[in-house]
Amino acid sequence: MASGTFSRRVTAADIAKSLGVSRATVGFVLNNTPGQTISEGTRSRVLAEAERLGYRPHTAAQALARGRSRVVLLVLPDWPIEYSMGRNIEEASLALEEAGYSLVTYTRHDSSRTRPLWETLNPDVVMGMLPFAAADVESMRASGVPHILPSPDVPPSWEQGASVTVGPSLQVQHLVELGHRRLGFAASSDPRLSKLVEARSAAVRAEAARKGLPEVAELAVGIGDTSAAAGAVATWRADEVTAVVAYNDDVAAMVAGAAIRSGVSVPSELAIIGHDDSPLAGMFVPSLTSVHLDDAGFGRQLAAIALHAAEGLPLPDADPAFAARVVRREST
């Protein structure tokens, strides 16, 4: 029967009344407001009463009063997100929650005529994987979003950093260590991925040049398009390519599948390395060598960047967080 009655929620005023102090005092205690002196007795009595009554601050009221919502909006791209992204987000969410923020994820479906979530959620921070379109930035500014990441004002964004290039570099290094010199790059033909594909492709070419390899033969492979994959394999073979760097594990699987079907043995005739170390990489036959990224570290980095923007907290120096390593399996 205790929980049966649909009781109004407990407010700070309830605590104050029950204790015979003013509501302001309660507020000062609960917020540890600096510059306020509260006696130890009162402080502990307020905290105990809050606990006893099951007080929960009303987020909407807080947001209204202080003008900040403590919500971080993470805008996910419309394209199929990487496998590791899910774990990143979970970790970031955890780190933000510990700082009193809520992470809300939002997939932007540009076909939609409805108002984007940042206009209705009043987030303190909006984060994206890639820089936002000018129209979106305008809309965020108009809705009063205080912080936009990557910042539209600073062209070189954080996502262009080590997190993108370290994986492709490792892919190339691994193949070179195995003695391969003539490499192919299997891009994804999905137009939505073009920016990321391009970034990884550039990183691969840069690493190849650094190692003094001949030019990398780049071909596009569509997920589900087996004939394109078969064509790519044939072209690479004709071109004397012995190893293929794939944009990600899905593309790697397409290439490996096409190779097997056309009688090209993996890895002896064609080695293949993927990226992301998705579950698929371990399950495929032959299992796929891939690059494993430190999801948790990346997620925490994401959270740190948001907190840096929102509260000026220091950014963790360097990025041992972006640790990546090659997981060698049967395909190389």
Check: CB of residue 298 under 8 Å from CB of residue 139.
Answer: no
DSSP secondary structure letters along 83-101:
HHHHHHHHHHHHHHHHTT-
Q: Which does 18 bind (CB under 5 to 8 A by kind): DNA, a second copy, none?
A: none
Q: Which two tokens stand for residue 216?
A: 């990398």
Q: Does 227 bind a second copy (CB under 8 A)?
A: no
The CA–CA distances, whole Å, from 97 to 76, 189, 298, 306, 307 equal: 19, 37, 16, 12, 11
Question: For the sheet containing 243-246, what is the strand order?
Answer: 217-221, 183-188, 243-246, 271-273
Q: Does 61 bind a second copy (CB under 8 A)?
A: yes
> Considering the complex, what minimum distance in angstroms separates the CB of residue 135 from DNA?
22
Paired with 185 in beta bridges are 218, 245
Q: Does 141 bind a second copy (CB under 8 A)?
A: yes
Instruction: Enumerate residues 270-329 that contact a second copy by CB under 8 A.
Output: 279-280, 282-285
Q: Which does 3 bind (CB under 5 to 8 A by kind): DNA, a second copy, none?
A: a second copy
Q: Which does 154 bind (CB under 5 to 8 A by kind): a second copy, DNA, none?
A: none
User: Using CB under 8 A, which of 233, 241, 254, 273 touches a second copy?
Assistant: 254
What is the torsion angle, in degrees rounded to the nearest 10, for the CA atoms of residue 311, residue 317, residue 318 and residue 322?
-50
Instruction: Enumerate residues 25-54 that contact a second copy by CB under 8 A.
Output: 54
Please give the residue ranges that form the binding site for a second copy (CB under 8 A). 3, 8-9, 54, 56-61, 63-64, 69-70, 80-81, 86, 89-90, 93-94, 97-98, 102, 104-105, 107, 109, 112, 114-115, 117, 119-122, 138, 141-144, 223-224, 250, 253-254, 256-257, 260-261, 279-280, 282-285
